[in-house]
Amino acid sequence: MPELPEVETTRRILEPYLLGQRIQKLLHNDPARYRRTELAEGRKVLGTSRRGKYLILHLDKKLEAVIHLGMTGGFRFEPHRHTRVTLHLPNQTLYYTDPRRFGKWWIVQVGDYREIGLLARMGPEPLSPDFTLARFKQSLLSTQRKIKEVLLAQEAVAGVGNIYADESLWLSKIHPERPAALLSGPEIRRLYQAIREVMHRAVEAGGSTLSDESYQQPSGEPGYFQFHHNAYDRTGQPCKRKGCSGKIVKMVVGGRGTHFCPLCQRI
């Protein structure tokens, strides 16, 4: 957390408050984590975008503010006890919060991602025309890594994290430990379609807010896709697939807690 749906929801909500506004001050006390933010002061926000799990503010003078929310980062319209960065605009103040302090900010020249290696090698966006079945198939068939690990690596497809990998694998009936290169053509097609469907539905629902409530929309409202989870965080609960009598189990794949149904997602 946050993954693509949560970052995209945040971007869509913040964009009207940012477009055309000039950043007056960026205040924080952690220059190692929030790098060169003084370069953004006085710069106008020309647009916003998202790449995978990164939020990008496009500034004048050919600068970009690249923001990774980490595990617990987010924005609020009101002060918060875990505020780490305060963004002052002419008519609005935004508060970047991050209880666990894993998030990072970089102010860089446009496209200069040498400090952000993952951003430079990230795969296509799952809801974009660049994410094609042929390209996805080529990425999977070229590696013996477990399919869950491949999805988390961000190179075959961008923005899929732990929650949405579990949901996509459940929907496509694929065991998370299956070697990617051994997936059949129909399985790859099902997974490709599942990723697009899950991501679209999750964005429309405003992302997922889990029991720790670490992710919330800037207004403080939660996301709602957690009510539609079929696998993630449902350990011991009945599988929701029609006709399946299995129960969701949890195991560790690639160092991450992984939820799946052992009956309809057979190894």
| Known binding positions for DNA | 82, 100
3 is catalytic: yes
53 is catalytic: yes
Helix (H, G, I), strand (E, B) or coil at 62: coil
Q: Nearest to residue 107, comparing CAs of 31, 52, 49, 53?
A: 31
256 is catalytic: yes
- Chain center to CA of 150: 15
> What tokens appear for 176 in the block?
């998370």
Strand 63-68 versus strand 25-27 pairing type? unpaired
- Of 11, 43, 50, 53, the catalytic one is 53
- Chain center to CA of 12: 14
61 is catalytic: no
C-alpha 159/C-alpha 152 separation (Å) is: 8
CB 138 within 8 A of CB 123: no
Residues 6+ apart with CB under 8 A from 157: 123, 124, 125, 126, 131, 136, 139, 151, 195
**Annotated binding residues, as ranges?**
82, 100
Q: How far is CA 114 from CA 105, 118, 231, in A?
A: 14, 9, 36
- Of 2, 5, 126, 176, the catalytic one is 2
- Of 12, 196, 250, 256, the catalytic one is 256
Q: Give the residue numbers annotated as catalytic, written as ranges.
A: 2-3, 53, 256
